[in-house]
Amino acid sequence: MPIIFSKETGEFHLYNQDVSYIMQILKNGQIGSLYYGRRIRHREDFGHLLEGGISAGHPRSMSAYEEGDASFLSMQHTKQEYPCAGRGDFREPAFVLEAANENRIFDFRYESHEIFAGKKKLEGLPAVYTQDDGEAQTLEIALRDTLSGMRCILSYSIFRDFPAIARSVRFCNDGTERCILRRVMSASVDLPDSDYELLYLTGAWARERHVKNLKLEEGLHRIGSTRGSSSGEYNPFLALKRPGTDEMSGEVLGFSLIYSGNHLEQAEADTFGTARVQLGIHPAWFDWELAPGETFQSPEAVLVYTRDGLNGMSQTYHELYRTHLARGVWRDRERPLVINNWEATGAAFTEDKVLEIARRGKELGLELFVLDDGWFGERDDDTKGLGDWYVTNKEKLPGGIEGLSEKIHAMGMRFGLWFEPEMVNPDSDLYRAHPDWILYAPGHRPLLSRYQYVLDFSRREVRDYLYEKMETALSNASVDYVKWDMNRYLTECYSAAAPAGQQGQVMHRYVLGVYELYERLIGRFPNILFESCSAGGARFDPGMLYYAPQAWTSDDTDALERILIQYGTSYVYPLSMMAAHVSDVPNMQTGRVTPLSLRGNVAMFGMFGCEMDLNTLDEKECLLLKRQIAFVKRYRELVMKGKFYRLKSPFAGDEAAWMVVNDNQSEALVGYYLFPGSPNGSWRRIRLAGLSPEKEYTVSGREGRTFFGDELMNAGLLLGEEALIPQEGGCFSKIFVVSEKEN
Residues of this chain that interact with ligand DGJ (CB under 6 A) are 342, 372-373, 418, 485, 487, 533, 535-536, 552, 555
Q: Residue 529 Cβ, how far from ligand DGJ at the closest point, in Å?
A: 16
Contact partners, residue 652, CB within 8 Å, separation at least 6? none
Residue with the CB atom nearest ligand DGJ in the bound state = 373
Least Å distance between CB 580 and ligand DGJ? 12
- Is 52 or 536 the residue whose CB approaches ligand DGJ more closely? 536
8 Å CB contact between 259 and 236: yes
First to last CA, the chain: 40
**Helices and strands in the chain: count of H runs, count of E runs:** 12, 38
Min CB(538)–ligand DGJ separation in Å: 8
DSSP 422-479: TEE-SBSHHHHH-GGGB---TTSPPPPBTTBEEB-TT-HHHHHHHHHHHHHHHHHTT-
- Nearest CB to ligand DGJ, comparing residues 535 and 603: 535
Determine the Cα–Cα distance for residues 365 and 600; give it in Å rounded to an integer.
14
Q: Which is nearer to ligand DGJ, 367 or 555 (CB)?
A: 555
CA separation for the pair 721, 729 (Å, rounded): 17
Shortest CB 534 distance to ligand DGJ, Å: 7
Task: Kindly tell me which of 291 and 348 has the beta carbon lying closer to ligand DGJ.
Answer: 348
Angstrom CA distances, 255 to 236, 317, 515, 640, 652, stand at 8, 10, 22, 23, 23
Dihedral sign (CA 73, 75, 79, 82): positive
Omega of the bond prior to 586 within 30 degrees of 0, cis? yes
Please return the burial class of 586, using the count of CB atoms within 10 Å of its CB with bins 0-12, 13-18 and 19+.
exposed
Q: What is the four-CA torsion angle of 722, 724, 725, 729, rounded to 10 degrees?
A: 110
Q: Which is nearer to ligand DGJ, 143 or 533 (CB)?
A: 533
- Rounded to a whole number of angstroms, the minimum distance from the CB of residue 346 to ligand DGJ is 8
502: left (phi over 0), alpha (psi -120 to 50) or beta: alpha
Q: Which of 145, 190, 388, 555 is catalytic?
A: 555
The H or E element spanning position 46 is none
By C-beta, is 135 or 555 nearer to ligand DGJ? 555
Nearer to ligand DGJ (CB atom), residue 416 or residue 709: 416
Would you call 546 helix, strand, or coil by DSSP?
Answer: coil
Kindly tell me which of 140 and 613 has the beta carbon lying closer to ligand DGJ.
Answer: 613
CB of 493 to ligand DGJ, least distance (A): 22
Least Å from the CB of residue 612 to ligand DGJ: 12
Q: Which residues of 138-150 are buried (b: 16+ CB within 10 A; e: fewer)?
A: bbbbbbbbeebeb
Quick one: which of 170, 174, 112 has its CA closest to 146? 174
618 is catalytic: no
C-beta separation of 688 from 714 below 8 A: no
Q: Minimal distance in Å, beta carbon 363 to ligand DGJ?
A: 24
Q: Which of 126, 110, 114, 124 is nearest to 155 (CA)?
A: 114
Minimum CB separation from ligand DGJ for residue 370, in Å?
9
Residue 555 bears catalytic tag: yes
3-state secondary structure of 101: coil
Closer of 31 and 344 to ligand DGJ (Cβ): 344
The stretches of 485-569 forming alpha helices (DSSP H) are: 506-524, 542-545, 559-569
69 forms beta bridges with: none
Catalytic residue among 485, 556, 558, 584: 485
Closest to ligand DGJ by CB, 28 vs 550, is 550
Burial of 674 (0-12, 13-18, 19+ CB in 10 A): buried
CA distance 19 to 608: 36
State the minimum distance, in angstroms, from the CB of residue 349 to ligand DGJ: 12
Catalytic residue positions, numbered = 485, 555
